[in-house]
Structure 1
Amino acid sequence: MNKIVLNLPEKKDISITDSLSTTEVWGEYCLISAPKIDLPNGASCVPQHFYGYDHSLESVESVLNKIEFSKHYPVFCSEDEQGLFIQIGIIGRENYQRHLPNRPSKIVYGRKWRVEPNLPTSEIIQTVFLAIQKAREHEIRELVTLRSTLSGKISTPFNSHHDLPLMAQCRDLFESTKADTVFSVERVQAIFDLLRFDQTQIKCLEVTHRRNGQTLVDIIFTCADDHQSSDFTELHGVECTLILKQDSENELLFKMIDALIELSNNYVEEHFTFNGFARFSRQHCIQSVGEFSINTRLIDKSKLNEQGKKLISEHNCSVDASRAPAVLLEQQKHRLAPHFAGIDLLEGFLPKGFEVS
């Protein structure tokens, strides 16, 4: 579908394009008959769902130029034969030389996050946010080490590089045994003494048993000053509480990795900014976010005429249709068929080359 452009009035709308000379730099264009609304603070705007998008490498770079998080996580945008993508770099110390606190820095790269040209600008920003969170989670899983009580050797049981097909063939190796034990500070600390998070140690402060069978384990992450690095410095000295469903080593270790990932995700929420605004910060009043959603999404129907509604509906349908994947292999069709069996009426767009019988 061709672009449907709206000639905006002289009064400038509030949007991310305000700091640039033209919406084309951002890969955005207003749909015809797109309504203008007034916000409680007196500003006026065209809501994002009345925009169309045609992003290029240049427009994505313009968006990334407004994003800030950490110099240790550079954000790249590039293009290959499959199209645009975003990729996170991780600049830190080599994960497999933990015995060397002063080891040199190294850069590695996360997976490619694809960006469709018609992806809303806001969703591109959210893609970068999620990519950073997942890149940090990947690093956390590699930095948690566990010393074997059998051999004394060090492993990384939470890392993402285990041979999953082989593990599935040897599933009997991974059956968990339930230990009949009641956790104490000493028992928990004995398990934590087998663990390291890079050069960070984990200390058990208190263990509390609840009437409902849960156990609360208060912990603190500590690191000697001469071993601290730029990696995950926000964890140093942090206290948190693990909530265990049962007193078992497995439960304790999984809750510990959950806590590390949650702390990392929260850190990204508070420090990831676009145009200086920490969109995902938990300091924002959620009621106010809800009111913003009401003001920008629940539009008075009188602001759109029938022709405008029709054109915008057609545009949205074309975007939805473009996102339907193509089913190219017969074995794919056989694998997917059960998902659609017994459905008499299905709205939306079926995968290309796929029919529901």
Structure 2
Amino acid sequence: MINIGLIGYGYWGPNVARNIHANVNLKLFAICDYQVQRLDKAKSIYIEQTTYETDYKRLLTNPEIQAIAIAAETSAHFQLVKESLLAGKHVYVEKPFTSTSEEAIELKELADSLNLIIHIDHIMIFHPVLTKIKSLIDTDEIGDILYIDAMRMNLGQIKKDVSAMWDLAVHDLSIIDYLCDGKEPFYINAIGEKFYNPKESVCFLTLKYAGFISNIQSSWVSPLKERKLIIAGTKKMIVFDDMNTFGKLTVYDKGVSVISGADVEYEDYAVKTREGDVWIPYIPQEDALFNSINHFLSCILSSKPSISGPLQAIRLLKILEKADISMAEKESLV
């Protein structure tokens, strides 16, 4: 049994607490939040099954706690993770990992030197649909990837400490990173606009990888809630619509054939589309957050690094930083 102390019981903290509590191999040992009304909400759910603190340092100095879960603002991540590691605790932390790649590198080196696990909750790569998509790619069911189109938008929640790209696109970047085994883009272009916020509320990010391109849309100012991923392959095409309750994953046996050759007349040259079956595979009902937390547990028990650990986070942060530079350059032209 691993005892976990949770720091932060605001927007996402209750979800983290619920899934820790649901894991029979974990104990939600303590919940910490500086706002008493939030702790009162937690007490109404967990009563005497856990303890409650307003000072997070009491969790760090408690020898009965082996791990810390952090569900706080991104700007607080670096200090909280660093203090937790120095206190000898394994760390689960919400995305994005840190505010800069330099901070992430420092924390990775610290965790490595102390033989401690850091797990960043890039939650989408623990979604059962993504597990299926990864299998389809690895078994060459869809062929070579041509492009990946991702849309993640809704009305709110507008955050002041990060842009919509850092808050939303990081999910899609982690998906691409996971599906393509850490492949990194060689071209990054981004544009955004600041509505109702000091950070960009709407962002469009274009990436070019060796062999395929990707476009990621992130918005807090949309009348519709969209969570959609389109992957076009040379053999098949995939649509993952996370808002579709009737079938989140659809596989299309569609593609394009080019008829050409030395003996083909110019007018015979043709690009023909191919229409085939549409397949909605069975996907088991699983909670991605529960899977993420359970993976963190398995990493602690096995002393193996997380698949969404600092190495992946550093790759994503470097993309976001370059995208920020790209947006700033365009803003300076106005």
TM-score, length basis structure 1 = 0.20
Higher RCO (Cα < 8 Å, 6 or more apart): 2
TM-score, length basis structure 2 = 0.21
Bigger strand fraction: 2
